[in-house]
Amino acid sequence: MIIVLKPEATQSDLEHILKRIEEWGLRPHVSRGEHRTIVGVIGDEQKLQAQPLAALPGVEQVLPILKPFKLASREFKKSDTVIQVGRVRIGGGSLAMIAGPCAVENYEILDTIAAAVKAAGANILRGGAFKPRTSPYSFQGLGEVGLRILHDIGQKYDMPVVTEVMDPRQVELVNRYADMFQIGARNMQNFDLLREVGRTQKPVLLKRGMSATVKDLLLSAEYILSEGNQQVVLCERGVRTFEDSTRNTLDLSAVPNVKGQSHLPIIVDPSHATGRPDLIPSMARAAVAAGADGVHIEVHCAPEKALSDGPQALLPSQYAELMRELRRLAELLGKVIS
């Protein structure tokens, strides 16, 4: 931690700061420059990050030097973490191909879609039973009925299933039916929910919030890890910008950016990021080329009848075509789709 003093800071401001630092059991180190005096702090920076140093009189700015997350960091664990969801491995060269409809609507539709994505090569089935919808008047999901359908069809096609959990009170219920929890973008900083899934031992797919930095995303992962659950897969799904011709702006640089700082796997969701089927295949290819550990794609057999986000779903035939391309790309890059 570096504390930069204001040009007008007095000697007694400085002494007050030094005293404080020593009270916290740390060692200060003063450098007097031509224009500014700075104080370096030696010792456990984590202790300091919780302190309101910027409020001390005479302080101009406080510059942290260490990252604020620990368990999620590459410094803490050098090798790539590989997450196992059923028999599917995510990370370390193995790609998750997650596909399915936005929402579970009924048994027949999900059955049709699951058969198609399985045949195309998907290895994890997705489908929402609890839907976070911007408007209270939109379809909100089938709840437990949807969870049961998802679970049964996953069994039928031998695919592990992932579904969103929105409320800490649903964690136990969802845990009974799903192989992987999804935390949606709107809940990335729902800290009570993060803690609750952190207390299970089931893999969690944690989606980046629409205005979350990469650091925020890793801090949210830290919430789950710090409760004891080490099974976290991150997901880039677009951030909000001024560009209005796509739903969000997919930040693919988050993929190598996360991989440099963290050992956790990261996948990409081009469906929610773009909201446009004409852009999804290009962005899925780009994601794999950027080094993502998988892609998450919405597929629906009748997008015009879907109860949620139909317009952004690929048709099964489009998905099959995309999977052919992704397989060749994965092979070129030395990756495996299990």
User: Rounded to an integer, what distance in angstroms lies between the CA atom of residue 106 and that of residue 127?
Assistant: 11
Q: Within 10 A of 55 (CB to CB), how many other CB atoms are there?
A: 8
Residue type, 231: Q
CB of 214 to a second copy, least distance (A): 6
CB of 156 to a second copy, least distance (A): 26
- State yes or no: residue 84 binds a second copy (CB under 8 A): no
Contact 247, 62 (CB under 8 A): no
Of the candidate residues 274, 296, 322, 337, the single one contacting a second copy (CB under 8 A) = 274
- State yes or no: residue 78 binds a second copy (CB under 8 A): no
Nearer to a second copy by Cβ, of 159 and 272: the residue is 272
User: Rounded to an integer, what distance in angstroms lies between the CA atom of residue 272 and that of residue 2?
Assistant: 40
x/- mask, a second copy, residues 121-160, rule CB under 8 A, reads -----------xxxxxxxx---------------------
Please, which of residues 6-35 interact with a second copy by CB under 8 A? 7, 20, 29, 31-35
Count of residues interacting with a second copy (CB under 8 A): 107
Nearer to a second copy by Cβ, of 117 and 159: the residue is 117
Q: How far is CA 326 from CA 80, 187, 321, in A?
A: 22, 30, 9
- State yes or no: residue 54 binds a second copy (CB under 8 A): yes
Backbone angles phi, psi at 2, to 5 degrees: -120, 130
Nearer to a second copy by Cβ, of 86 and 143: the residue is 143
Give the DSSP per-residue string, 126-195: E-BSS---SSTTS----THHHHHHHHHHHHHTT--EEEE--SGGGHHHHHHH-SEEEE-GGGTT-HHHHH
- State yes or no: residue 317 binds a second copy (CB under 8 A): no
Least Cα distance to 58 among 20, 107, 104, 105 occurs for 20
Nearer to a second copy by Cβ, of 162 and 250: the residue is 250
CB of 335 to a second copy, least distance (A): 13
- State yes or no: residue 294 binds a second copy (CB under 8 A): no
The residues that bridge with 233 in the sheet, in sequence order, are: 205
Consecutive H or E run containing 23: helix 11-23
- State yes or no: residue 310 binds a second copy (CB under 8 A): yes
Please, which of residues 216-255 interact with a second copy by CB under 8 A? 216, 219, 222-223, 226, 239-246, 249-255
The residue assigned the tokens 């290009």 is 282
Of the candidate residues 101, 209, 265, 294, the single one contacting a second copy (CB under 8 A) = 209
- State yes or no: residue 191 binds a second copy (CB under 8 A): yes
Of the candidate residues 14, 21, 48, 69, the single one contacting a second copy (CB under 8 A) = 69
Please, which of residues 86-115 interact with a second copy by CB under 8 A? none
